[in-house]
Amino acid sequence: MSESDFSKATNAFEKYLRDERNLARHTLRAYLGDLQSLFDQMQTLGKSSLEELDLSVIRSWLATMQVKGAARTTLSRRAVSIRIFSHWAFKNGFVASDVAATLATPKTHRVLPEVLDIPNAKLAMDALLTRVGEEADAISKRDSALVEILYASGARVAEVCGLDLRDVDYERQTIRVLGKGNKERTVPLGNPATRALKLWIAEGRLELVRADSGEAIFLGVRGKRIDQRTVRTIVYNALAALEGVERLGPHALRHSAATHLLEGGADLRTVQEILGHASLATTQIYTHVSTERLQRAFKQAHPRA
């Protein structure tokens, strides 16, 4: 494949993904990486033109990835990436036909998410609150508010990192988050998370705020908007002390929030709205988690289990 063919197709496809599909940055990078990988495979097979792309080439590429040990989820995403590219390339005259239209997506094994039980979730929040009382510093207030909000709202790490001061409604006890695809949604917090957030903003944030902090709610030690890696470390440390709990991160709090809502009687549609899932099928996995937990409790406690 000539460099000009590669560059023209890649640049135009990137513009389409960014401007028309409005993909998140990491998703955009993943799609373009998949395309680069496919083009590399074509070169290996001696294919010098984009017009030589066909279904056998794509299947050969996926098979090569599988032999190298790629996870089913990775193979599935790559198949989706190339189907999107193939359809776009056909519509825009880069290829003569939509060669990947009939490409099947490799099936993935459904892995049930790890969740905290309610007593452990309470223990984690209480421990952070105790630390606030003992240390009374900005970091302890920030960490408590962060973990409370992640669990109360079920928000993604990126969504919480992106929160600004104007996104909080104290009267309604809600926050407005910007989710995938730049879709806004409003999610409830409840009393403990709202109290922790108020304390952080009124007292703790003032100690870290700098001229370039902007409207960011959560700040790092240098006063800039907190990054996702720091949040993950905070959550790992907060949950590490829990007995019998494996290493869990922020997404476990999101999973836990969803599971506990369903166990408490919330309907699937409500949980879907809170989590910001585009599809109800994504939310339904938490019903399986709840069922598994109920079955374990039944087997442990019922005399006829």
Domain range list for the chain: 3-91, 118-301
DSSP H helices, 70-190, are 72-91, 118-135, 138-153, 157-161
- How many other β-carbons are positioned within 10 Å of the β-carbon of residue 281? 10
Residue among 216, 152, 221, 162 nearest 190 (CA): 152
Residue 200 has pLDDT above 70, yes or no: yes
Q: How far is CA 93 from CA 4, 14, 87, in A?
A: 15, 16, 10
Burial class (CB in 10 A: 0-12, 13-18, 19+), 10: middle
Of these residues, 59, 72, 224, 251, which one is catalytic?
251
Residue 1 has pLDDT above 60, yes or no: no
- How many other β-carbons are positioned within 10 Å of the β-carbon of residue 7? 10
SS3 99: coil
Answer for the pair 251, 285: CB distance below 8 angstroms, yes or no: no
Annotated catalytic residue 180: yes
Residue 302 has pLDDT above 60, yes or no: no
The separation between CA 265 and the C-alpha centre of its own chain, rounded to angstroms, equals 25
Segment 139-158 shows an average pLDDT of 95
Of these residues, 77, 254, 255, 260, which one is catalytic?
254
Segment 22-46 shows an average pLDDT of 88
The Cα 222–Cα 95 span in angstroms is 50
Of these residues, 83, 156, 205, 255, which one is catalytic?
156
Look up tokens 């108020």; give the residue: 198
The Cα 91–Cα 136 span in angstroms is 60
Amino acid at 112: L
Annotated catalytic residue 288: no
pLDDT for 45: 84
User: What is the DSSP code string of 15-29?
Assistant: HHHHHTS---HHHHH
57-61, 246-250, 284-288: which range is least confident on average?
A: 284-288
Residue 85 has pLDDT above 90, yes or no: yes
- What are the tokens at 90? 């056909």
Average pLDDT over the chain, rounded to an integer: 87
| 3-91: CATH class | mainly alpha
Of these residues, 180, 195, 224, 293, which one is catalytic?
180
Segment 82-96 shows an average pLDDT of 92
Answer for the pair 81, 96: CB distance below 8 angstroms, yes or no: no
Q: Which residues in the chain belong to E strands, given as ranges?
A: 168-169, 174-178, 184-188
Residue 62 has pLDDT above 70, yes or no: yes
Sheet holding 184-188, edge to edge: 168-169, 174-178, 184-188
Sign of CA dihedral 20, 21, 24, 26: negative
Sign of CA dihedral 37, 42, 48, 49: negative
pTM value? 0.63
Answer for the pair 91, 136: CB distance below 8 angstroms, yes or no: no
Residues recorded for the chain: 305
Q: Which fold has domain 118-301?
A: hpI Integrase; Chain A (1.10.443)
Answer for the pair 208, 223: CB distance below 8 angstroms, yes or no: yes
Residue 110 has pLDDT above 60, yes or no: no
Look up tokens 């007593």; give the residue: 119
